[in-house]
Amino acid sequence: MATPIDILVTLDAGYVPPLKVMLWSLHANNLKRSFHVWLVHESLTDAQVAEVRALTDGLGWELTALPVEVDLTDQPALIKRYPPAMYFRLLCGQVLPADVHRVIYLDPDILVINDVTPLWELDLQGNMLAAAAHRGVTKLVDSVNQIRLGTNTSYFNSGVLVIDVDQARRNIHLNDITAAIAAYHDYLILPDQDILNFLYGESILEIDEEVWNYDTRKYLVYQTRTLTEHDIHWVMSHTVLLHYCGTPKPWEANSDSKFTGLFLNYQQQVQRFLSVPAPTEA
């Protein structure tokens, strides 16, 4: 089997159940690949980590849980109001072992529905990161965010990232992040994503959102942009990462979107898998 793909996840306790669904979907659609999951967190209990480990062990994957404490004692109140875990994906270079050189970061509210290998093998062309930009029918959202943040790049979504960890170790530091928050906090709407774009937008290679970070709220937008070519059949054949952005989330009772049923099916599958008793030795 090929060398494991390194997957980075950062989350709090509320996202442990959807994380397990995401990891199961990753397994189900990448049966010939193995993965090493790096779980970076601030406050998960041993029992919550054990929940995730029960799944990764069952799949034959490695799981490394890395609890991180960020000391914000000397920072102003406006910095302290943002949970440090929000920035763990960007600070992974300061957390992951030196022999980890590349990771794919995935939000836990994602389904993997096709092969992730091309993303893992992506040529970053010297860039530190790769990410997708979520746009509407036009590029108006880019223009608005360029004015708001004073940038000249696309406005990238932080839910899926390919990270050159060696570059991140050299170039991404907590002090830069806290300084940017202190200086521009009045302009931050989505703080972690805004900081990603403000500080590191020029080091990001853009990847196709409809393949690598498909916003499930925007099915009709994508169809309009492609003159209905990218219908549900196209999505199931070509899209790799479905991202359940916004609310309601697909595991919530009031969710009833085109993609809710798909999530619920994977949720049932992982629940059934985890409920099967481990075989006993003869």
Could you give all domains of the chain from N- to C-terminal order, each with its CATH number? Answer: 5-275 (3.90.550.10)
Amino acid at 217: R
CA distance 271 to 269: 5
SS3 181: helix
Name the residue with tokens 């570059």.
Answer: 167
Q: How far is CA 178 from CA 112, 118, 191, 193, 256, in A?
A: 33, 34, 11, 14, 39
Instruction: Report the b/e string of 48-60 with b at 16+ CB within 10 A.
Output: bbebbbebbeebe
Read off the pLDDT of residues 117-172 as tens digits, 9 standing for 90 and up.
999 999 999 999 999 998 764 454 554 445 445 556 788 999 999 999 999 999 99
pLDDT at 76: 61
Six-digit token string for 79: 């910095």
The CA distance from 129 to 157, in Å, is 12
Q: What is the Cα–Cα distance from 101 to 89, expressed in whole angstroms?
A: 14
CA pair distance 129, 200, nearest whole angstrom? 8
Beta bridge partners of 17: none
Residue 258 C-alpha from the chain's centroid = 21
Residue 81: its pLDDT value, please? 67
Tens place of pLDDT per residue across the chain (282 aa): 689 999 999 988 899 999 999 999 999 999 999 999 999 998 899 999 999 999 999 999 999 999 987 776 666 665 666 777 778 899 999 999 999 999 999 999 999 999 999 999 999 999 999 999 987 644 545 544 454 455 567 889 999 999 999 999 999 998 898 888 888 777 777 778 888 998 999 999 999 999 999 999 999 999 999 999 999 999 999 999 999 999 999 999 999 999 999 999 999 999 999 996 655 544
